[in-house]
Amino acid sequence: MNAEEFVACCKREKETLLKLFQDSESGSAVAEGIAALQLSEEQSRLMNQILDGVLTDVFYTLLVGLDGGASLGGVQQTYKIYDEQDQLISDCGDLEAAAWEQFHGEADPEAGTAD
C-alpha cells in the first residue's frame, strides 16, 4: 500500500460514515440523534452537507497532520506510517498531496451528500 491507496481508504471510510449517519436505521448514535430532530427535507439536506463538511475536514486534517503539514492536538511533527508487512506507506509529503486530491480535488459525482 502506498500513500495514495491509504488516503483512498480514508476517503472510503469517510463516505461509509456519512451514509451511516444519514441512515436513521443504522443503529448509529449520530443517526438516531439526527432522526430525533425530525428535520424537514430541506433541513435534512443541510444537515447532510454539514456532516459531509465535518467529516471531510476531520479526515483531511488528520491526514495532513500525520504528514507533518498541520498540528494534531497542538503538536506538529512528521509521522511515518507502515503497513502490517513493515513497508513504509508514507514518509513526508505523500499524504498531504494525496489527501488534497481525494478530499478537495475534482468532485466525485458518486460521493458526498444526498441532494
Per-10-residue mean pLDDT of the chain, 115 residues long, equals: 95 98 95 96 97 97 94 93 91 88 74 44
Grid look-up 481525494 returns: 102
**Cell, residue 14:** 469517510
Return the pLDDT at 108: 52
Look up the pTM and report it: 0.84
Q: Domain extents for the chain?
A: 3-104
* Burial class, 80, CB count within 10 angstroms (exposed 0-12 / middle 13-18 / buried 19+): exposed
